[in-house]
């Protein structure tokens, strides 16, 4: 799944740093590695964790073993931080007030690799490349995530939008770059650049463009306030919503399915709309289907399963598994207690992160994190953490 996770401007103010926290490796062994005041770790090696998960909390990051869910390490980081897979087996991108930083999650330490810039936004993984979009500058950075293991900033492609805006970009397998168009006040659509950053196509029939996801056969969708814009095989196609205002702002795609999963909102005046319908966009038939789940959800509720299943974590506490071809809810897996989406988007709420056949679901109200087998619906393991978590991510190699 591409991250496509909402990347609004970072507004969190810095918090006072807690005392340096000793990192404890999994398996009961401890290391002397401690965080320093800048959030980095000392050079003392630590015991690596398996397929690490990274969760944010108010004032730092937790690193957990992906198999046991045991807390392996803590890194103090003030402010409001966001996390996304970097695209390899070891690293996670951390969005801070000053830019994107690279965390070696396996080694439990922040690296010196940083992409500075105000309001770091979306992180997209596709076709063996990772793409960063910095909202405050309009800068796009593209790199091969496997190069992060060198410890040095990877050489890569850069592009700067005509004007800074809350945007997103994705590089296709043939080197074309799809990037959004807009200003701080208004977002209108997307353009396509060739390998040399020369514009070769654009479409501005996508008001309020937000988010992206890629489906089977490299059909790329970007959400609009009145539908979704698809770029595939060198051309744009607009798929309209059934409502005049039918906003699709967050999407999840899968290489196993031509159907994109999106949210769906119809009230432009709402302080916070809590929709109960999701959208399924068939990129082959160019059709949009709405599915009413009977429960609301949040922008951190969408994901895809290993076979292309559409997954939605509802406020009823269940993980809704949807057949993307029929729109039928195949099953509802109990995951967490019932919850309500908070008004402030930066506030914690249950969050869904999927890797392979496992759905990881956080439960901030109980300071808990659960691992659930998507196939069987069985809870594999759970852990209670020292503090409530907010965002949840982990390492994901290959895309």
Q: What would the two tokens of residue 354 be?
A: 């999927």
The pLDDT of residue 40: 43
Cα gap 282→261, rounded to integer Å: 9
DSSP labels, 259-309: EEEE--B--TT-SS----EEEEEETTTTEEEEEE-SS---TT-EEE-TTS-
**3-state class of 22 per DSSP?**
strand
Q: Burial of 301 by CB count in 10 Å (0-12 exposed, 13-18 middle, 19+ buried)? A: buried
Which strands form 139-143's sheet, in the order they lie side by side? 120-126, 129-134, 139-143, 157-160
Residues 100-136: tens digit of each pLDDT: 999 999 999 999 999 999 999 999 999 999 999 999 9
> Rounded mean pLDDT of 290-294?
98
3-state secondary structure of 312: strand
Q: Average pLDDT over the chain, rounded to whole?
A: 90
pLDDT > 50? residue 14: no
The predicted-structure confidence for 41-85, as pLDDT tens digits, reads as follows 433 345 678 899 999 999 999 999 999 999 999 999 998 999 999
Find the range with the poorest average confidence among 62-66, 172-176, 385-389, 394-398. Answer: 394-398
Segment 255-284 shows an average pLDDT of: 97
The region of weakest confidence among 12-21, 63-72, 191-200, 283-292 is: 12-21
* CA atoms within 13 A of residue 193's CA, in its CB half-sphere: 19
> Virtual CA dihedral for 42, 48, 52, 55, nearest 10 degrees?
-30
What is d(CA 328, CA 322) in angstroms, rounded to the nearest whole number? 6
- pLDDT (tens digit per residue) in 342-364: 999 999 999 999 999 999 999 99
178, 172 Cβ separation under 8 angstroms: yes
3-state secondary structure of 57: strand
Burial call 364-397: b when 16+ CB within 10 Å, e when fewer: beeebbbbbebeeeeebeebebeebbbbbbbbbb
What pLDDT was estimated at residue 29? Answer: 26
pLDDT digits (tens, 9 = 90+) for 154-191: 999 999 999 999 999 999 999 999 999 999 999 999 99
List, for residues 197-236, the tens digit of each pLDDT value.
999 999 999 999 999 999 999 999 999 999 999 999 999 9
Other C-beta atoms within 10 Å of 237: how many?
Answer: 15
Single pTM value for the model: 0.88
- Rounded to whole angstroms, how far apart are CA atoms 386 and 95? 22
389, pLDDT greater than 50: yes
DSSP sequence for 342-397: -SSTTS----EEEETTEEEEEEGGGTEEEEEETTT--EEEEEE-SS-EEEEEE---
200's tokens: 């070769």
Q: What pLDDT was estimated at residue 49?
A: 87
pLDDT at 275 over 80: yes
Strand order in the sheet with 91-96: 82-85, 91-96, 99-104, 109-116
Going by DSSP bridges, is the β-strand pair 22-24/99-104 parallel, antiparallel, or unpaired? unpaired
């Amino acid at each position: 799944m591409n991250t496509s996770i909402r990347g609004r401007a970072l507004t969190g103010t810095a918090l006072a740093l807690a005392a340096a926290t000793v990192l404890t490796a999994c398996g009961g062994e401890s290391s002397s590695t401690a965080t320093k005041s800048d959030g980095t770790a000392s050079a003392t090696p630590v015991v690596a964790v398996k397929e690490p998960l990274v969760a944010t909390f108010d004032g730092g990051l937790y690193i957990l073993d992906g198999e046991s869910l045991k807390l392996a390490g803590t890194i103090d980081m003030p402010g409001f931080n966001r996390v996304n897979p970097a695209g390899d087996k070891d690293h996670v991108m951390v969005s801070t007030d000053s830019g994107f930083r690279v965390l070696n999650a396996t080694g439990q330490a922040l690296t010196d690799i940083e992409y500075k810039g105000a309001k770091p936004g979306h992180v997209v993984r596709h076709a063996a490349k990772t793409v960063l979009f910095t909202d405050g500058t309009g800068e796009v950075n593209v790199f091969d995530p496997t190069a992060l293991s060198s410890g040095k900033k990877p050489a890569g492609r850069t592009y700067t939008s005509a004007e800074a805006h809350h945007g997103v970009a994705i590089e296709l397998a043939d080197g074309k770059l799809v990037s959004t168009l807009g200003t701080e006040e208004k977002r209108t659509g997307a353009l396509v650049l060739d390998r040399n950053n020369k514009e070769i196509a654009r479409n501005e029939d996508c008001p309020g463009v937000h988010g992206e996801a890629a489906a089977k056969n490299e059909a790329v969708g970007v959400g609009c306030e009145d539908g979704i814009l698809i770029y595939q095989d060198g051309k744009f196609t607009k798929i309209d919503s059934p409502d005049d205002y039918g906003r699709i702002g967050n999407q999840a795609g899968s290489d196993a399915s031509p159907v994109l999963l999106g949210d769906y909102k119809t009230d432009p005046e709402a302080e916070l709309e809590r929709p109960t319908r999701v959208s399924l966009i068939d990129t082959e038939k160019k059709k949009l289907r709405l599915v009413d789940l009977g429960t609301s959800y949040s922008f951190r509720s969408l994901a895809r399963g290993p076979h292309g299943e559409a997954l939605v974590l509802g406020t009823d506490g269940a993980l809704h598994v949807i057949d993307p071809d029929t729109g039928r809810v195949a099953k509802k897996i109990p995951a967490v207690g019932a919850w309500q989406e908070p008004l402030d988007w930066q506030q914690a709420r249950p969050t869904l992160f999927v890797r392979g056949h496992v759905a990881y679901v956080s439960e901030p109200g109980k300071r808990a994190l659960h691992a659930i087998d998507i196939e069987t619906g069985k809870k594999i393991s759970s852990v209670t953490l020292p503090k409530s978590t907010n965002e949840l991510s982990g390492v994901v190699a290959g895309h």
